[in-house]
């Protein structure tokens, strides 16, 4: 059962238990990375047998496989995938940045080029659940950014296939090539390249502790989006809210995994007690009851605050992945929100709306990193290159100042470089 606290009874850093993850992962991942780097496809095929119980003869998903999977997915779901893709695309197109040029002084041109990454790798989890939403959320911003190639990896089932809904989402999102590989070994393949899987410039997409650790270890060789922690939701609700819908929103995160966290902040004791009972009632109806129960019992909390303003202040200290503000005037509180991955406003905006359909991204900073990180966006698939141009006359006007600055840092070669062209003229 969710624990009920007065705010004075709990410190903010204990509201979401943010742990480092299971021990013993680092060395195992290091060994996997080294082996894939040395043995390439051979290592991937062996790991598929060991970890996925899949006997693969090839790693790449063929176009025939993709077409067959697309045909196997119900038309209703394909239509929903297309609508979601349209919404995601419409939202993320507003994130496109333009290059710029500054030419405000004679003889001087400064500027910045915004350049899409050449090739990005998308990791899509497999196992007990399939997440076509993750395909759309990670691939479409890369497509909008203009990346030349999007490569996807996903662990195969024991039959050696990838779930049809995953392949259908990949086709809709415009993923270029798809490979049957999962876990740390797939991250290694994307980072170093193998005979079949090309090396990429950046890796995005969620995964388990082994995937997260693999991304940490290859960072620097490739870029990564972030190290994802367990999912978390913080709901701020007043006494006018429905206990049934608040409980449903809390459980929508609790069913993710046993380490997920669901927390309610409210200024209403009656709502707190009603939600507590409603969570217990709804838990009994969930297919993933065992997972949600473990999450609620270990990490579920209801905290009584003096006001919704106080609740937002506490939320800012926590910096939750998902923040719901459930009241009749949520925009009055939005300006007070400083740290949250994604904010859902009002009584009719469940977090699931953002997970699947609204268009905002569901790949979000976790574990308090919303204090300094942002949701996945088009920005994550571009880089910037700056440029400078000075004429001879423009350089002559500032070269002595540059040289003097360099001398203050003890860098005489820098100083000489600044004045060398004038010396050449003399």
pLDDT in tens, 266-287: 999 999 999 999 999 999 999 9
Q: Which residues are catalytic?
A: 321-322
Sign for the pseudo-dihedral over CA of 136, 138, 144, 150:
negative
Confidence band of 387 (pLDDT split at 50, 70, 90): very high
Beta bridge partners of 117: none
Domain ranges (residues) in the chain:
25-97+117-224, 229-372, 391-425
Cα–Cα distance for residue pair 100/159, rounded to 1 Å = 51
Rounded to an integer, the average pLDDT of 2-24 is 76
Of 78-92, 224-238, 314-328, 401-415, the least confident = 224-238
Cα–Cα distance for residue pair 224/373, rounded to 1 Å = 13
In this structure, are residues 244 and 331 in contact, taking their beta carbons and an 8 Å threshold? no
Cα–Cα distance for residue pair 59/235, rounded to 1 Å = 43
What is the model's pLDDT at position 328? 95
Please write the tens of the pLDDT for every residue from 352-370: 999 999 999 999 999 999 9
What is the model's pLDDT at position 290? 96
**Average model confidence (pLDDT) across the chain:** 94
Burial of residue 260 (number of CB atoms within 10 Å: 0-12, 13-18, 19+): buried
**Would you give the DSSP letter of residue 326?**
E
Of 9-13, 104-108, 262-266, the least confident = 9-13
Confidence band of 165 (pLDDT split at 50, 70, 90): very high
What is the model's pLDDT at position 230? 87
Please write the tens of the pLDDT for every residue from 218-270: 999 999 998 778 899 999 999 999 999 999 999 999 998 899 999 999 999 99
In this structure, are residues 265 and 364 in contact, taking their beta carbons and an 8 Å threshold? no
Confidence band of 298 (pLDDT split at 50, 70, 90): very high
CA-only gyration radius of the chain, Å: 26
Rounded to an integer, the average pLDDT of 292-317 is 96
Which tokens hold the place of 127?
């196992």
Parallel/antiparallel/unpaired status of strands 177-180 and 202-204: unpaired
Question: Can you give the pTM of this predicted structure?
Answer: 0.93
Residue 248: name the closest of 270, 278, 269 by CA: 278
User: Span 25-97+117-224: which CATH code?
Assistant: 3.40.50.1980
Sign for the pseudo-dihedral over CA of 285, 135, 152, 76:
positive
Residue 202: name the closest of 143, 137, 150 by CA: 150
Rounded to an integer, the average pLDDT of 394-399 is 96
Beta bridge partners of 222: 219
Rounded to an integer, the average pLDDT of 144-171 is 96
**Would you give the DSSP letter of residue 301?**
E
Cα–Cα distance for residue pair 249/235, rounded to 1 Å = 8
Confidence band of 20 (pLDDT split at 50, 70, 90): low
Q: Locate all alpha helices (DSSP H) within 22-163, ordered by sequence.
A: 25-39, 41-52, 63-72, 75-93, 132-145
Rounded to an integer, the average pLDDT of 291-301 is 95
What is the model's pLDDT at position 21? 54
CATH 3.40.50.1980, domain 229-372, yes or no: yes
Cα–Cα distance for residue pair 259/299, rounded to 1 Å = 7
Rounded to an integer, the average pLDDT of 303-320 is 96
Q: One fold for both 25-97+117-224 and 229-372?
A: yes
What is the model's pLDDT at position 8? 85
Which tokens hold the place of 356?
């699947």
- In 217-327 the beta strands, taken as DSSP E runs, fall at 223-224, 232-237, 261-266, 301-304, 322-326
What is the model's pLDDT at position 180? 97
pLDDT of 23 > 80? The answer is no
């Amino acid at each position: 059962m969710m624990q009920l606290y007065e705010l004075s009874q709990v410190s903010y850093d204990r509201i979401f238990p943010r742990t480092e993850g299971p021990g013993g992962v680092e060395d195992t991942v290091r060994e996997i990375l080294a082996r894939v780097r040395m043995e390439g496809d051979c290592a991937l095929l062996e790991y598929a047998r060991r970890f996925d119980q899949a006997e693969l003869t090839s790693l790449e998903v063929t176009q025939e496989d993709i077409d067959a999977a697309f045909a196997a997915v119900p038309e209703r779901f394909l239509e929903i995938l297309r609508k979601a893709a349209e919404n995601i695309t419409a939202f993320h197109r507003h994130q496109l940045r333009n290059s710029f040029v500054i030419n405000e002084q004679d003889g001087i041109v400064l500027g910045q080029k915004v350049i899409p990454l050449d090739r990005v790798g998308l990791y899509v989890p497999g196992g007990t659940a399939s997440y076509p939403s993750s395909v759309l959320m990670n691939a479409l911003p890369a497509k909008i950014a203009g990346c030349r190639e999007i490569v996807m990896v996903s662990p195969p089932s024991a039959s050696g296939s990838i779930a049809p809904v995953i392949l259908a989402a990949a086709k809709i999102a415009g993923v270029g090539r798809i490979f049957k590989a999962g876990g740390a070994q797939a991250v290694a393949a994307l980072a170093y390249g193998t005979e079949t899987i090309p090396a990429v410039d950046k890796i995005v997409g969620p995964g388990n502790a082994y995937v997260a650790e693999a991304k940490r270890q290859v960072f620097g060789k490739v870029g990564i989006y972030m190290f994802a922690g367990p999912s978390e939701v913080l709901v701020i609700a007043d006494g006018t809210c429905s206990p049934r819908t608040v409980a449903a929103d809390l459980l929508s995160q609790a069913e993710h995994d046993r380490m997920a966290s669901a927390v309610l902040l409210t200024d209403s004791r009656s709502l707190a007690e009603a939600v507590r009972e409603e969570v217990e009632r709804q838990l009994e109806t969930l297919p993933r009851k065992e997972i949600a129960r473990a999450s609620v019992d270990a990490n579920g909390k209801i905290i009584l605050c003096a006001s919704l303003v106080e609740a937002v202040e506490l939320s800012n200290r926590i910096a939750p992945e998902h923040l719901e503000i459930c009241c009749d005037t949520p925009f009055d509180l939005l300006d007070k929100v400083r740290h949250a991955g994604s904010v859902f406003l009002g009584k009719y905006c469940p977090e699931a709306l953002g997970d699947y359909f609204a268009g905002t991204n569901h790949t979000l900073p976790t574990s308090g990193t919303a204090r300094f990180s942002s949701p996945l966006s088009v920005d994550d698939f571009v880089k910037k290159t700056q440029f400078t141009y000075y004429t001879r006359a423009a350089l002559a006007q500032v070269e002595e100042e540059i040289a003097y600055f360099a001398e203050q840092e003890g860098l005489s070669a820098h100083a000489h470089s600044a004045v060398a062209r004038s010396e050449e003229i003399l």
